[in-house]
Amino acid sequence: ILPLVSVNQILLLLLVLTVCAILYNKVHQVPLALRNETVDLESPEEVKEEIPVVICAAAGRMGAAVAAISSIYSNTEANVLFYIIGLKTTIPHIRKWIENSKLKEIKFKVVEFNPMVLKGKIRQDASRPELLQPLNFVRFYLPLLIQKHEKVIYLDDDVIVQGDIQELYDTKLAPGHAAAFSDDCDLPSTHEMVRSVGMQNTYMGFLDYRKQAIRDLGISPSTCSFNPGVIVANMTEWKHQRITKQLEKWMQRNVEENLYSSTLGGGVATSPMLIVFHGKYSSINPMWHIRHLGWSPDARYSEQFLQEAKLLHWNGRYKPWDYPSVHTDLWENWFIPDPSGKFKLTRPDS
C-alpha cells in the first residue's frame, strides 16, 4: 500500500507543479504583452502615417526646391517623405546639395522624369519659354511617379511652408474627387492684389473662348479659376478617372487647335487642369495657398497677413531668388546655400 500512496502523492505533486507553472506563465506574459504595446505606441515611426510631398528640382532654380523642402521639414513633426523629381542632368546636383547640408536628415527619394512622355503634346511658344520646361508637367503624371501612396501633396518649387504640412495633408476630399485646389476667388484679402497686378482669376484668362472646342465645354468664361501649384491628390481616384489621359488629350488638342497659350493666364500647365477638373475638385483652406507674390516687384501684402499665412507662393515672373522681387526675407529664412557654389541668389548688391 505504501508504494501506491507514494506514487499517488508524486502524481498529485506533479499536477500541482504543472498548474503552478501554467499560472506563473500566464501572470508573467501579460506585462510582456503590455510592454510590447507600449513600445509600439511610443515609437512615432511605427504609428505616424507617411506624408508624401512631391517637389521638382529644375536646372537654374534648384535653390527654390531646397528652400521649400527646408521650410516644410522645419515646421512639422510629421513623417514626411519627399519625392524630388528631376531630369537626368539635374539629379546629381540636388542629391549632393541635400546630402551635404543640414537637409541630410530628411527622408527623400529622387525620381527621374523622362521628358519624352511630352513629345508632340506641347505647343512651342516663344513668349515665355520657361513655362514649357518639362518639369512643369510633372503634376500631370503623379501616379506614374508615385506608386505606393493613396494620398499625395504636390507643391510648386516657388513656395515656402510656414504651417505644419500635416494640416494640408488632412484636407478632406469629397467622394469622387481626385484632387483639391485653391480657388482664385477664395480670399478677399488677395482680391486687391489680383486687381493691382492685372491678374486673371476666371476661365476667360486661361482659355480662348473664340475657339469652338472651348465654347463646346459649356463652361462660363466668368467661372472662378483655381491654382494647381498646390495639390492634394487622391491617387486611386486619379487612376480610376484616367486623369492623366484626359490631360494629355487636351494638351494634344491645344497643339492642333491652339486653345490656350502662355500669353493667356501665365502658363500652359494650368489650362488643361482647369478643363479636366472643372466642377470636380475639393477646396484647400485659403490660408494654405497665399499666392501672386511673384506677379509684381511692387505690389506687397501686409506683413501681418503674411505672418499668419500657412503657405506662400511666388507664382509669376518675379521670383524670390532673383531681383527684383518682394517679401524675399520670408523666403530667405529657409534658403540653404549651395555647397557646390553653382546656385547663387541674385541681389542688387551682388
pLDDT digits (tens, 9 = 90+) for 307-328: 999 999 999 889 999 999 999 9
pLDDT at 47: 59
- Report whether pLDDT(125) > 70: no
AA letter at 338: D
**Per-residue pLDDT for 19 more than 90?**
no
Cα separation, 242 vs 281, in Å, equals 15
Task: Return the exposure string of 133-167: e unless at least 16 CB atoms fall within 10 Å of the residue's CB, then b.
Answer: bbbbbbbbbbbebbeebebbbbbbbbbbbbbebbb
Which one is predicted more confidently, 250 or 192? 250
Q: What is the pLDDT of residue 264?
A: 56
pLDDT at residue 33, as a whole number: 29
Q: State residue 304's pLDDT score.
A: 94
pTM value surpassing 0.95: no
Based on the number of CB atoms within 10 Å of its own CB, is 278 exposed (0-12), middle (13-18) or buried (19 or more)? Answer: middle
pLDDT value for 346: 96
Give me the domains of the chain, ranges plus CATH numbers: 51-186+198-333 (3.90.550.10)
Q: Determine the pLDDT at residue 329.
A: 96
Q: Among 26-30, 87-91, 118-122, where is mean pLDDT lowest? A: 26-30
Percent of the chain with pLDDT over 90: 69
In this prediction, residue 34 carries a pLDDT of 30
The label of the residue with cell 493613396 reads 150
